[in-house]
Structure 1
Amino acid sequence: MTDPRRIAYQGEPGSNSHAVCAQHYPDWDTVPCASFEDVFAAVTSGEAELAMIPIDNSLAGRVADIHHFLPESGLYIIAEHFLRIRFHLMALPGTTLDQVRTVHSHVHALGQCRKIIREHGLTAVISGDTAGAAREIVEAGDPSQAAISPPMAAPIYGLDVLAEDVEDEDHNTTRFVVLSPDFVRAPAGNGPVVTSFVFNVRNIPAALYKALGGFATNGVNMTKLESYMVGGEFIATQFLCEVDGHPDEPGLKRALEELEFFTTDVRVLGVYPADPWRA
Protein backbone atom coordinates (compact mmCIF):
# COMPACT_ATOMS: atom_id res chain seq x y z
CA MET A 1 0.00 0.00 0.00
CA THR A 2 1.44 3.34 -1.04
CA ASP A 3 1.47 6.34 1.27
CA PRO A 4 -1.20 8.96 0.51
CA ARG A 5 -0.06 12.01 -1.36
CA ARG A 6 0.19 15.35 0.45
CA ILE A 7 -1.13 18.82 -0.24
CA ALA A 8 0.05 21.87 1.74
CA TYR A 9 -2.00 24.90 2.73
CA GLN A 10 -1.59 28.04 4.85
CA GLY A 11 -3.51 28.08 8.10
CA GLU A 12 -4.58 25.73 10.85
CA PRO A 13 -6.77 22.61 10.62
CA GLY A 14 -10.36 23.67 10.02
CA SER A 15 -9.50 26.75 7.96
CA ASN A 16 -11.09 27.52 4.59
CA SER A 17 -7.90 26.42 2.85
CA HIS A 18 -8.12 23.10 4.69
CA ALA A 19 -11.78 22.79 3.68
CA VAL A 20 -11.10 23.28 -0.03
CA CYS A 21 -8.27 20.71 0.15
CA ALA A 22 -10.61 18.19 1.77
CA GLN A 23 -13.30 18.90 -0.82
CA HIS A 24 -11.17 18.42 -3.92
CA TYR A 25 -8.41 16.11 -2.64
CA PRO A 26 -10.28 13.94 -0.10
CA ASP A 27 -7.80 11.05 -0.27
CA TRP A 28 -4.72 13.22 0.26
CA ASP A 29 -2.98 14.02 3.53
CA THR A 30 -3.06 17.74 4.31
CA VAL A 31 -0.01 19.66 5.53
CA PRO A 32 -0.88 22.83 7.48
CA CYS A 33 1.71 25.61 7.27
CA ALA A 34 2.15 28.78 9.30
CA SER A 35 2.85 31.08 6.33
CA PHE A 36 2.66 31.19 2.56
CA GLU A 37 6.45 30.96 2.42
CA ASP A 38 6.22 27.71 4.35
CA VAL A 39 3.64 26.38 1.89
CA PHE A 40 5.92 27.06 -1.08
CA ALA A 41 8.87 25.57 0.79
CA ALA A 42 6.90 22.42 1.59
CA VAL A 43 6.36 21.76 -2.12
CA THR A 44 9.82 22.73 -3.35
CA SER A 45 11.42 20.55 -0.66
CA GLY A 46 9.24 17.54 -1.47
CA GLU A 47 7.41 17.54 1.87
CA ALA A 48 4.19 17.93 -0.14
CA GLU A 49 3.39 17.24 -3.78
CA LEU A 50 0.95 20.14 -4.25
CA ALA A 51 -0.06 23.42 -2.61
CA MET A 52 -3.51 25.01 -2.27
CA ILE A 53 -3.25 28.80 -2.21
CA PRO A 54 -5.98 31.49 -2.03
CA ILE A 55 -5.39 34.12 -4.67
CA ASP A 56 -8.54 36.29 -4.83
CA ASN A 57 -11.59 37.01 -2.70
CA SER A 58 -14.82 38.55 -4.02
CA LEU A 59 -14.97 41.01 -1.10
CA ALA A 60 -11.36 41.61 -0.09
CA GLY A 61 -9.76 41.50 -3.55
CA ARG A 62 -6.39 39.92 -4.17
CA VAL A 63 -4.67 38.04 -1.37
CA ALA A 64 -1.66 40.03 -0.20
CA ASP A 65 1.83 38.70 -0.96
CA ILE A 66 0.79 35.84 -3.23
CA HIS A 67 1.38 37.84 -6.39
CA HIS A 68 4.95 38.51 -5.23
CA PHE A 69 5.73 34.94 -4.18
CA LEU A 70 4.14 33.08 -7.08
CA PRO A 71 6.27 34.26 -10.04
CA GLU A 72 9.52 33.48 -8.19
CA SER A 73 8.38 30.25 -6.55
CA GLY A 74 9.29 27.93 -9.41
CA LEU A 75 5.81 26.37 -9.11
CA TYR A 76 3.05 26.20 -11.69
CA ILE A 77 -0.73 26.55 -11.52
CA ILE A 78 -2.38 23.26 -12.51
CA ALA A 79 -5.96 23.85 -11.30
CA GLU A 80 -8.31 26.39 -9.76
CA HIS A 81 -11.16 25.98 -7.30
CA PHE A 82 -13.75 28.42 -5.94
CA LEU A 83 -15.05 28.14 -2.38
CA ARG A 84 -18.15 29.87 -1.05
CA ILE A 85 -16.95 31.27 2.27
CA ARG A 86 -19.13 30.39 5.26
CA PHE A 87 -18.64 31.27 8.91
CA HIS A 88 -20.28 29.85 12.03
CA LEU A 89 -20.31 31.32 15.52
CA MET A 90 -18.99 28.59 17.85
CA ALA A 91 -18.15 28.24 21.53
CA LEU A 92 -17.37 25.70 24.26
CA PRO A 93 -19.87 22.84 24.61
CA GLY A 94 -22.92 23.85 26.61
CA THR A 95 -22.40 27.57 26.06
CA THR A 96 -25.46 29.68 25.22
CA LEU A 97 -25.35 32.76 23.04
CA ASP A 98 -26.32 35.09 25.89
CA GLN A 99 -23.18 34.02 27.79
CA VAL A 100 -20.85 35.23 25.04
CA ARG A 101 -19.13 38.58 25.47
CA THR A 102 -16.17 38.47 23.05
CA VAL A 103 -15.80 36.97 19.59
CA HIS A 104 -12.44 35.98 18.13
CA SER A 105 -11.45 35.62 14.48
CA HIS A 106 -9.21 36.88 11.69
CA VAL A 107 -9.62 40.59 11.02
CA HIS A 108 -11.19 39.94 7.59
CA ALA A 109 -13.72 37.48 9.02
CA LEU A 110 -14.70 39.93 11.75
CA GLY A 111 -15.21 42.59 9.09
CA GLN A 112 -17.40 40.23 7.09
CA CYS A 113 -19.62 39.33 10.06
CA ARG A 114 -20.42 42.73 11.50
CA LYS A 115 -24.19 42.20 11.74
CA ILE A 116 -24.14 39.41 14.32
CA ILE A 117 -21.38 41.14 16.30
CA ARG A 118 -23.42 44.35 16.46
CA GLU A 119 -26.73 42.57 17.07
CA HIS A 120 -25.45 40.83 20.20
CA GLY A 121 -23.14 43.63 21.40
CA LEU A 122 -20.02 41.47 21.20
CA THR A 123 -16.47 42.74 21.48
CA ALA A 124 -14.33 41.70 18.52
CA VAL A 125 -10.88 40.26 19.22
CA ILE A 126 -8.46 39.77 16.33
CA SER A 127 -6.81 36.37 15.87
CA GLY A 128 -4.22 35.38 13.33
CA ASP A 129 -6.38 32.75 11.66
CA THR A 130 -10.08 31.84 11.54
CA ALA A 131 -9.50 28.22 12.53
CA GLY A 132 -6.84 29.29 15.02
CA ALA A 133 -9.52 31.36 16.74
CA ALA A 134 -11.48 28.16 17.40
CA ARG A 135 -8.40 26.53 18.90
CA GLU A 136 -7.82 29.59 21.10
CA ILE A 137 -11.36 29.31 22.48
CA VAL A 138 -10.72 25.72 23.53
CA GLU A 139 -7.40 26.65 25.14
CA ALA A 140 -8.96 29.57 27.04
CA GLY A 141 -11.79 27.42 28.42
CA ASP A 142 -13.91 30.54 28.95
CA PRO A 143 -17.62 30.33 28.00
CA SER A 144 -17.76 34.11 27.54
CA GLN A 145 -15.51 33.73 24.47
CA ALA A 146 -16.68 32.56 21.05
CA ALA A 147 -15.07 32.20 17.63
CA ILE A 148 -16.18 33.02 14.13
CA SER A 149 -14.67 30.15 12.17
CA PRO A 150 -15.36 27.96 9.13
CA PRO A 151 -17.88 25.13 9.72
CA MET A 152 -15.14 22.49 9.53
CA ALA A 153 -13.48 23.89 12.68
CA ALA A 154 -16.35 23.00 15.04
CA PRO A 155 -15.99 19.19 14.93
CA ILE A 156 -12.18 19.40 14.78
CA TYR A 157 -11.96 21.39 18.03
CA GLY A 158 -15.08 20.00 19.68
CA LEU A 159 -17.06 23.25 19.78
CA ASP A 160 -20.80 23.84 19.70
CA VAL A 161 -22.22 25.93 16.85
CA LEU A 162 -24.31 28.78 18.27
CA ALA A 163 -25.26 30.32 14.91
CA GLU A 164 -24.72 29.17 11.33
CA ASP A 165 -23.76 31.21 8.29
CA VAL A 166 -23.21 34.47 10.15
CA GLU A 167 -21.43 36.21 7.27
CA ASP A 168 -23.07 39.45 6.12
CA GLU A 169 -22.95 38.62 2.39
CA ASP A 170 -23.83 35.29 0.81
CA HIS A 171 -21.67 35.91 -2.28
CA ASN A 172 -18.37 35.88 -0.40
CA THR A 173 -16.19 33.57 -2.51
CA THR A 174 -12.48 32.82 -2.56
CA ARG A 175 -10.59 31.57 -5.57
CA PHE A 176 -7.83 29.06 -4.85
CA VAL A 177 -5.13 27.80 -7.19
CA VAL A 178 -3.31 24.48 -6.98
CA LEU A 179 0.45 24.69 -7.41
CA SER A 180 2.82 21.97 -8.59
CA PRO A 181 6.57 21.80 -9.22
CA ASP A 182 5.71 20.24 -12.59
CA PHE A 183 4.22 22.17 -15.50
CA VAL A 184 1.07 20.13 -16.13
CA ARG A 185 -0.53 21.73 -19.16
CA ALA A 186 -4.23 21.16 -19.81
CA PRO A 187 -4.96 19.78 -23.27
CA ALA A 188 -6.51 22.01 -25.90
CA GLY A 189 -10.03 21.33 -27.13
CA ASN A 190 -11.18 19.65 -23.92
CA GLY A 191 -13.29 22.39 -22.35
CA PRO A 192 -12.62 25.95 -21.16
CA VAL A 193 -9.03 26.73 -20.19
CA VAL A 194 -7.38 29.59 -18.28
CA THR A 195 -3.84 30.73 -19.10
CA SER A 196 -1.92 32.67 -16.43
CA PHE A 197 1.34 34.50 -17.13
CA VAL A 198 3.51 37.36 -15.93
CA PHE A 199 5.41 39.92 -17.98
CA ASN A 200 7.47 43.08 -17.66
CA VAL A 201 6.86 45.85 -20.18
CA ARG A 202 9.68 47.67 -21.89
CA ASN A 203 10.35 51.16 -20.53
CA ILE A 204 9.03 52.98 -23.58
CA PRO A 205 5.95 55.19 -24.12
CA ALA A 206 2.65 53.32 -24.56
CA ALA A 207 4.38 49.96 -24.01
CA LEU A 208 1.51 48.51 -21.98
CA TYR A 209 -1.09 49.75 -24.46
CA LYS A 210 0.81 48.15 -27.32
CA ALA A 211 1.50 44.97 -25.39
CA LEU A 212 -2.18 44.41 -24.65
CA GLY A 213 -3.45 45.43 -28.07
CA GLY A 214 -2.85 41.98 -29.50
CA PHE A 215 -5.33 40.41 -27.11
CA ALA A 216 -8.09 42.79 -28.22
CA THR A 217 -7.41 42.42 -31.95
CA ASN A 218 -7.28 38.62 -31.64
CA GLY A 219 -10.51 38.38 -29.67
CA VAL A 220 -8.94 37.08 -26.45
CA ASN A 221 -10.90 37.75 -23.25
CA MET A 222 -8.66 39.04 -20.46
CA THR A 223 -10.05 38.26 -16.99
CA LYS A 224 -7.23 39.63 -14.80
CA LEU A 225 -4.53 42.27 -15.12
CA GLU A 226 -2.70 43.34 -11.97
CA SER A 227 0.53 45.27 -11.56
CA TYR A 228 3.07 45.43 -8.78
CA MET A 229 6.57 46.79 -8.39
CA VAL A 230 9.59 44.51 -8.53
CA GLY A 231 13.09 45.00 -7.20
CA GLY A 232 12.08 48.01 -5.15
CA GLU A 233 12.06 50.27 -8.20
CA PHE A 234 9.18 52.55 -9.08
CA ILE A 235 9.92 52.23 -12.80
CA ALA A 236 10.07 48.42 -12.78
CA THR A 237 6.55 47.04 -12.99
CA GLN A 238 5.51 43.43 -13.41
CA PHE A 239 2.05 42.41 -14.54
CA LEU A 240 0.10 39.28 -13.70
CA CYS A 241 -2.38 38.47 -16.42
CA GLU A 242 -5.02 35.79 -16.94
CA VAL A 243 -6.93 35.13 -20.12
CA ASP A 244 -9.54 32.70 -21.37
CA GLY A 245 -8.12 30.23 -23.85
CA HIS A 246 -5.26 27.87 -24.62
CA PRO A 247 -1.87 29.01 -26.00
CA ASP A 248 -2.26 26.53 -28.87
CA GLU A 249 -5.44 28.26 -30.05
CA PRO A 250 -4.63 30.62 -32.97
CA GLY A 251 -5.96 33.81 -31.37
CA LEU A 252 -4.12 33.47 -28.07
CA LYS A 253 -1.01 32.19 -29.80
CA ARG A 254 -0.83 35.33 -31.96
CA ALA A 255 -1.57 37.59 -28.97
CA LEU A 256 1.29 36.06 -26.95
CA GLU A 257 3.65 36.45 -29.90
CA GLU A 258 2.74 40.14 -30.20
CA LEU A 259 3.17 40.55 -26.44
CA GLU A 260 6.82 39.55 -26.67
CA PHE A 261 7.62 42.53 -28.93
CA PHE A 262 6.84 44.99 -26.12
CA THR A 263 7.99 43.07 -23.05
CA THR A 264 11.29 42.00 -21.50
CA ASP A 265 10.06 38.78 -19.95
CA VAL A 266 6.99 36.60 -20.46
CA ARG A 267 6.55 33.55 -18.24
CA VAL A 268 3.56 31.25 -18.40
CA LEU A 269 2.55 30.23 -14.87
CA GLY A 270 -0.14 27.79 -15.85
CA VAL A 271 -2.51 26.45 -18.49
CA TYR A 272 -5.29 24.76 -16.56
CA PRO A 273 -9.00 23.86 -16.76
CA ALA A 274 -11.43 26.64 -15.87
CA ASP A 275 -13.44 25.78 -12.78
CA PRO A 276 -17.14 25.20 -13.60
CA TRP A 277 -17.99 27.98 -11.09
CA ARG A 278 -16.94 30.52 -13.74
CA ALA A 279 -19.93 29.57 -15.88
Structure 2
Amino acid sequence: MPTSNVIAFQGLPGAYSDLSCRSVFPEMQTLPCASFEDAFAAVREGRARLAMIPVENSVAGRVADNHHLLPQGGLHIIGEHFQRVNHQLLAPKGATLGTIRSVHSHIQALSQCREMTRALGLTPVNHADTAGAAADIAKMNDPAHAAIASKLAAEIYGLEILKADIEDAAHNTTRFLIMAREPRIPPAGSCKTITTFVFRVSSRPAALYKALGGFATNGVNLTKLESYMVGGRFAAAQFYVDVEGHPDERPLRLALEELDFFAREMKILGVYPASLFRYQGSQLDGED
Protein backbone atom coordinates (compact mmCIF):
# COMPACT_ATOMS: atom_id res chain seq x y z
CA MET A 1 0.00 0.00 0.00
CA PRO A 2 1.58 3.35 -1.01
CA THR A 3 2.27 5.50 2.04
CA SER A 4 0.45 8.39 0.34
CA ASN A 5 -2.76 6.42 0.96
CA VAL A 6 -2.11 5.49 4.61
CA ILE A 7 -3.31 7.21 7.80
CA ALA A 8 -1.96 6.13 11.20
CA PHE A 9 -3.83 5.92 14.49
CA GLN A 10 -3.23 4.61 18.00
CA GLY A 11 -4.96 1.38 18.91
CA LEU A 12 -6.17 -1.81 17.30
CA PRO A 13 -8.52 -2.09 14.30
CA GLY A 14 -11.98 -1.01 15.39
CA ALA A 15 -10.82 1.70 17.79
CA TYR A 16 -12.66 5.02 17.68
CA SER A 17 -9.54 6.55 16.13
CA ASP A 18 -9.82 3.94 13.37
CA LEU A 19 -13.50 4.83 12.96
CA SER A 20 -12.57 8.53 12.70
CA CYS A 21 -9.96 7.80 10.03
CA ARG A 22 -12.53 5.90 7.98
CA SER A 23 -15.16 8.62 8.46
CA VAL A 24 -12.93 11.46 7.22
CA PHE A 25 -10.74 9.55 4.74
CA PRO A 26 -12.74 6.52 3.54
CA GLU A 27 -10.37 6.07 0.60
CA MET A 28 -7.29 5.68 2.81
CA GLN A 29 -5.80 2.56 4.40
CA THR A 30 -5.66 2.76 8.21
CA LEU A 31 -2.45 1.84 10.05
CA PRO A 32 -2.85 0.64 13.67
CA CYS A 33 -0.05 1.73 16.03
CA ALA A 34 0.73 0.56 19.56
CA SER A 35 1.16 4.09 20.96
CA PHE A 36 0.63 7.73 20.04
CA GLU A 37 4.40 8.06 19.71
CA ASP A 38 4.37 5.24 17.16
CA ALA A 39 1.62 6.98 15.17
CA PHE A 40 3.69 10.18 15.04
CA ALA A 41 6.78 8.19 14.05
CA ALA A 42 4.88 6.44 11.23
CA VAL A 43 4.25 9.83 9.62
CA ARG A 44 7.71 11.23 10.32
CA GLU A 45 9.36 8.13 8.85
CA GLY A 46 7.15 8.05 5.75
CA ARG A 47 5.15 4.90 6.56
CA ALA A 48 1.97 6.98 6.63
CA ARG A 49 0.94 10.31 5.13
CA LEU A 50 -1.32 11.40 7.99
CA ALA A 51 -2.13 10.61 11.62
CA MET A 52 -5.45 10.93 13.47
CA ILE A 53 -4.80 11.95 17.09
CA PRO A 54 -7.49 12.41 19.80
CA VAL A 55 -6.98 15.42 22.08
CA GLU A 56 -10.20 15.83 24.09
CA ASN A 57 -13.61 14.37 24.81
CA SER A 58 -16.73 16.30 25.77
CA VAL A 59 -17.32 14.01 28.76
CA ALA A 60 -13.92 12.68 29.90
CA GLY A 61 -11.82 15.77 29.14
CA ARG A 62 -8.43 16.02 27.51
CA VAL A 63 -6.16 13.20 26.40
CA ALA A 64 -3.28 14.44 28.52
CA ASP A 65 -0.40 12.53 26.92
CA ASN A 66 -0.97 14.15 23.56
CA HIS A 67 -0.72 17.72 24.85
CA HIS A 68 2.84 16.85 25.87
CA LEU A 69 3.52 14.99 22.61
CA LEU A 70 2.18 17.55 20.12
CA PRO A 71 4.91 20.21 20.61
CA GLN A 72 7.73 17.68 20.27
CA GLY A 73 6.20 15.24 17.79
CA GLY A 74 7.68 16.89 14.69
CA LEU A 75 4.34 17.08 12.87
CA HIS A 76 1.90 19.85 11.94
CA ILE A 77 -1.85 20.08 12.55
CA ILE A 78 -3.63 20.37 9.20
CA GLY A 79 -7.23 19.75 10.27
CA GLU A 80 -9.66 18.77 13.01
CA HIS A 81 -12.51 16.28 13.22
CA PHE A 82 -15.26 15.86 15.82
CA GLN A 83 -16.36 12.23 16.11
CA ARG A 84 -19.64 11.35 17.81
CA VAL A 85 -18.92 8.45 20.17
CA ASN A 86 -21.62 5.80 20.42
CA HIS A 87 -20.50 3.08 22.83
CA GLN A 88 -21.80 -0.48 22.52
CA LEU A 89 -21.82 -3.21 25.13
CA LEU A 90 -20.22 -6.18 23.35
CA ALA A 91 -19.98 -9.82 24.37
CA PRO A 92 -19.39 -13.28 22.86
CA LYS A 93 -22.27 -15.11 21.22
CA GLY A 94 -24.54 -16.68 23.80
CA ALA A 95 -23.89 -14.06 26.49
CA THR A 96 -26.79 -12.03 27.90
CA LEU A 97 -27.17 -9.07 30.23
CA GLY A 98 -27.79 -11.65 32.94
CA THR A 99 -24.54 -13.60 32.42
CA ILE A 100 -21.98 -10.79 32.30
CA ARG A 101 -20.17 -9.83 35.50
CA SER A 102 -17.36 -7.53 34.31
CA VAL A 103 -16.92 -4.96 31.56
CA HIS A 104 -13.58 -4.21 29.90
CA SER A 105 -12.53 -1.03 28.07
CA HIS A 106 -10.29 2.03 28.00
CA ILE A 107 -10.55 4.13 31.15
CA GLN A 108 -12.19 7.01 29.26
CA ALA A 109 -14.85 4.74 27.76
CA LEU A 110 -15.52 3.25 31.19
CA SER A 111 -15.92 6.75 32.66
CA GLN A 112 -18.35 7.66 29.86
CA CYS A 113 -20.62 4.68 30.66
CA ARG A 114 -20.75 4.75 34.47
CA GLU A 115 -24.54 4.77 34.70
CA MET A 116 -24.91 1.57 32.67
CA THR A 117 -22.09 -0.12 34.60
CA ARG A 118 -23.70 0.69 37.95
CA ALA A 119 -27.19 -0.25 36.77
CA LEU A 120 -26.01 -3.72 35.69
CA GLY A 121 -23.70 -4.17 38.70
CA LEU A 122 -20.64 -4.79 36.52
CA THR A 123 -17.01 -4.66 37.62
CA PRO A 124 -15.03 -2.28 35.34
CA VAL A 125 -11.66 -3.53 34.04
CA ASN A 126 -9.27 -1.03 32.45
CA HIS A 127 -7.59 -1.76 29.09
CA ALA A 128 -5.17 0.17 26.90
CA ASP A 129 -7.85 0.86 24.28
CA THR A 130 -11.45 -0.02 23.46
CA ALA A 131 -10.68 -2.20 20.44
CA GLY A 132 -8.04 -4.10 22.42
CA ALA A 133 -10.65 -4.83 25.06
CA ALA A 134 -13.02 -6.14 22.37
CA ALA A 135 -10.27 -8.33 20.94
CA ASP A 136 -9.49 -9.76 24.39
CA ILE A 137 -13.16 -10.49 25.09
CA ALA A 138 -13.42 -12.33 21.76
CA LYS A 139 -10.38 -14.46 22.69
CA MET A 140 -11.71 -15.20 26.19
CA ASN A 141 -15.11 -16.23 24.77
CA ASP A 142 -16.55 -16.15 28.29
CA PRO A 143 -20.20 -15.05 28.75
CA ALA A 144 -19.25 -13.47 32.08
CA HIS A 145 -17.09 -10.81 30.40
CA ALA A 146 -18.10 -7.95 28.11
CA ALA A 147 -16.43 -4.96 26.47
CA ILE A 148 -17.33 -1.35 25.72
CA ALA A 149 -16.32 -0.52 22.16
CA SER A 150 -17.62 0.56 18.74
CA LYS A 151 -19.92 -1.15 16.25
CA LEU A 152 -16.87 -1.44 14.01
CA ALA A 153 -15.09 -3.43 16.74
CA ALA A 154 -18.12 -5.73 17.05
CA GLU A 155 -17.92 -6.46 13.32
CA ILE A 156 -14.16 -6.99 13.29
CA TYR A 157 -14.01 -9.31 16.34
CA GLY A 158 -17.29 -11.17 15.86
CA LEU A 159 -19.01 -9.95 19.03
CA GLU A 160 -22.69 -9.35 19.67
CA ILE A 161 -24.13 -6.03 20.79
CA LEU A 162 -26.00 -6.66 24.04
CA LYS A 163 -26.90 -3.01 24.58
CA ALA A 164 -26.49 -0.14 22.11
CA ASP A 165 -25.57 3.52 22.65
CA ILE A 166 -24.78 3.11 26.36
CA GLU A 167 -22.87 6.37 26.85
CA ASP A 168 -24.14 8.54 29.72
CA ALA A 169 -24.24 11.79 27.71
CA ALA A 170 -25.94 12.25 24.35
CA HIS A 171 -23.30 14.83 23.37
CA ASN A 172 -20.38 12.42 23.86
CA THR A 173 -17.94 13.60 21.20
CA THR A 174 -14.17 13.31 20.75
CA ARG A 175 -12.11 15.95 18.99
CA PHE A 176 -9.29 14.66 16.80
CA LEU A 177 -6.40 16.50 15.18
CA ILE A 178 -5.17 15.48 11.74
CA MET A 179 -1.36 15.57 11.59
CA ALA A 180 1.07 15.69 8.66
CA ARG A 181 4.81 16.12 8.06
CA GLU A 182 4.37 19.51 6.39
CA PRO A 183 1.98 22.35 7.25
CA ARG A 184 -1.02 22.87 5.02
CA ILE A 185 -2.07 26.45 5.80
CA PRO A 186 -5.20 27.82 4.11
CA PRO A 187 -4.93 31.32 2.64
CA ALA A 188 -6.01 34.06 5.02
CA GLY A 189 -9.68 34.88 4.56
CA SER A 190 -10.46 31.70 2.62
CA CYS A 191 -12.29 29.97 5.50
CA LYS A 192 -12.89 30.06 9.22
CA THR A 193 -9.52 29.14 10.69
CA ILE A 194 -8.15 27.73 13.95
CA THR A 195 -4.58 28.45 15.03
CA THR A 196 -3.04 26.19 17.67
CA PHE A 197 0.12 27.10 19.54
CA VAL A 198 2.00 26.57 22.80
CA PHE A 199 3.98 29.01 24.92
CA ARG A 200 5.57 29.29 28.35
CA VAL A 201 5.60 32.00 31.00
CA SER A 202 7.55 32.35 34.21
CA SER A 203 5.75 31.75 37.50
CA ARG A 204 5.27 35.44 38.34
CA PRO A 205 2.25 37.53 39.27
CA ALA A 206 0.24 38.65 36.20
CA ALA A 207 2.56 36.84 33.74
CA LEU A 208 -0.32 35.06 32.01
CA TYR A 209 -2.53 38.18 32.14
CA LYS A 210 0.11 40.20 30.31
CA ALA A 211 0.83 37.45 27.78
CA LEU A 212 -2.85 37.13 26.81
CA GLY A 213 -3.78 40.80 26.96
CA GLY A 214 -3.24 41.26 23.23
CA PHE A 215 -5.95 38.73 22.40
CA ALA A 216 -8.52 40.75 24.35
CA THR A 217 -7.50 44.14 22.94
CA ASN A 218 -7.50 42.77 19.37
CA GLY A 219 -10.79 40.88 19.68
CA VAL A 220 -9.37 37.39 19.15
CA ASN A 221 -11.47 34.57 20.60
CA LEU A 222 -9.65 31.86 22.60
CA THR A 223 -11.55 28.59 22.27
CA LYS A 224 -9.14 26.56 24.39
CA LEU A 225 -6.52 27.38 27.04
CA GLU A 226 -4.86 24.67 29.11
CA SER A 227 -1.76 24.60 31.26
CA TYR A 228 0.53 21.82 32.36
CA MET A 229 3.94 21.56 33.97
CA VAL A 230 6.92 20.52 31.87
CA GLY A 231 10.31 19.06 32.68
CA GLY A 232 9.32 17.97 36.17
CA ARG A 233 9.55 21.56 37.44
CA PHE A 234 6.92 23.74 39.10
CA ALA A 235 8.59 27.07 38.35
CA ALA A 236 7.03 27.49 34.91
CA ALA A 237 4.00 26.23 33.00
CA GLN A 238 3.42 25.52 29.34
CA PHE A 239 0.10 26.63 27.85
CA TYR A 240 -1.74 24.98 24.98
CA VAL A 241 -4.04 27.38 23.09
CA ASP A 242 -6.61 27.23 20.27
CA VAL A 243 -7.77 30.56 18.87
CA GLU A 244 -10.09 31.58 16.06
CA GLY A 245 -8.21 33.38 13.34
CA HIS A 246 -5.27 33.28 10.94
CA PRO A 247 -1.77 34.61 11.78
CA ASP A 248 -1.77 36.63 8.54
CA GLU A 249 -4.94 38.47 9.58
CA ARG A 250 -4.27 41.69 11.46
CA PRO A 251 -6.04 40.91 14.78
CA LEU A 252 -4.25 37.63 15.40
CA ARG A 253 -0.95 38.94 14.02
CA LEU A 254 -0.94 41.79 16.54
CA ALA A 255 -2.03 39.49 19.37
CA LEU A 256 0.80 37.04 18.63
CA GLU A 257 3.32 39.87 18.49
CA GLU A 258 2.28 40.97 21.98
CA LEU A 259 2.34 37.39 23.23
CA ASP A 260 5.87 36.96 21.90
CA PHE A 261 6.99 40.00 23.91
CA PHE A 262 5.80 38.62 27.26
CA ALA A 263 6.06 34.84 26.76
CA ARG A 264 8.85 32.38 26.05
CA GLU A 265 9.18 29.57 23.52
CA MET A 266 6.00 30.33 21.57
CA LYS A 267 5.48 27.72 18.85
CA ILE A 268 2.66 27.45 16.33
CA LEU A 269 1.57 23.81 15.92
CA GLY A 270 -0.91 24.34 13.11
CA VAL A 271 -3.13 26.73 11.15
CA TYR A 272 -6.08 24.84 9.70
CA PRO A 273 -9.76 25.09 8.67
CA ALA A 274 -12.24 25.05 11.55
CA SER A 275 -14.62 22.08 11.56
CA LEU A 276 -18.24 22.83 10.68
CA PHE A 277 -19.12 21.06 13.93
CA ARG A 278 -18.05 24.15 15.86
CA TYR A 279 -20.76 26.24 14.22
CA GLN A 280 -23.54 23.76 13.47
CA GLY A 281 -23.94 22.10 16.86
CA SER A 282 -23.28 18.61 18.11
CA GLN A 283 -25.59 16.65 15.81
CA LEU A 284 -23.29 16.26 12.79
CA ASP A 285 -22.61 12.62 13.74
CA GLY A 286 -19.34 11.88 12.02
CA GLU A 287 -19.08 14.82 9.61
CA ASP A 288 -15.69 16.53 9.53
TM range (shorter): over 0.9
The one-letter code sitting in structure 2 at the alignment partner of 1:53 is: I
TM-score of the superposed pair, with normalisation by structure 1 = 0.94
1:157 alignment partner in structure 2:
157
- Indicate conservation of the 8 Å contact 1:56/1:174, yes or no: yes
Which consecutive unaligned segments of at least 5 residues does structure 2 have? 280-288
Between 1:102-111 and 1:54-63, the stretch displaced more is: 102-111
Shift of 1:164: 0.6
CA distance in 1, matches of 2:223, 2:215: 11
% identical equivalent positions: 56
Q: After TM superposition, list the pairs within 5 Å mapping 1:152-231 onto structure 2.
A: 152-201=152-201, 205-231=205-231
CA distance in 2, matches of 1:30, 1:104: 24
Q: Cα–Cα, structure 1 residues 111 and 265, in superposed 2: closer, same or farther, change >3 Å?
A: closer
Shift of 1:240: 1.2
1:61 alignment partner in structure 2:
61
Q: Cα–Cα, structure 1 residues 121 and 75, in superposed 2: closer, same or farther, change >3 Å?
A: same
SS of match in other structure, 1:200:
strand
TM-score of the superposed pair, with normalisation by structure 2 = 0.92
The one-letter code sitting in structure 1 at the alignment partner of 2:166 is: V
Q: Cα–Cα, structure 1 residues 234 and 93, in superposed 2: closer, same or farther, change >3 Å?
A: same
SS of match in other structure, 1:223:
strand
2:83 alignment partner in structure 1:
83
1:145 alignment partner in structure 2:
145
- Indicate conservation of the 8 Å contact 2:202/2:237, yes or no: no
- Indicate conservation of the 8 Å contact 1:88/1:150, yes or no: yes
The alignment covers a number of residue pairs equal to: 279
2:46 alignment partner in structure 1:
46
Shift of 1:271: 0.5
The one-letter code sitting in structure 1 at the alignment partner of 2:256 is: L
Shift of 1:21: 0.4
1:249 alignment partner in structure 2:
249
The one-letter code sitting in structure 1 at the alignment partner of 2:277 is: W
CA distance in 2, matches of 1:174, 1:2: 29
The one-letter code sitting in structure 1 at the alignment partner of 2:200 is: N
Over the residues paired in the alignment, what is the CA RMSD in angstroms?
1.7
- Indicate conservation of the 8 Å contact 2:202/2:236, yes or no: no
CA distance in 2, matches of 1:204, 1:118: 45
2:73 alignment partner in structure 1:
73
The one-letter code sitting in structure 1 at the alignment partner of 2:59 is: L
2:25 alignment partner in structure 1:
25
CA distance in 2, matches of 1:214, 1:116: 46
Shift of 1:128: 2.0
Which structure 1 residue ranges, 4+ long, deviate > 4 Å from structure 2?
1-4, 202-205
2:282 alignment partner in structure 1:
none
- Indicate conservation of the 8 Å contact 2:9/2:31, yes or no: yes
Between 1:59-68 and 1:109-118, the stretch displaced more is: 109-118
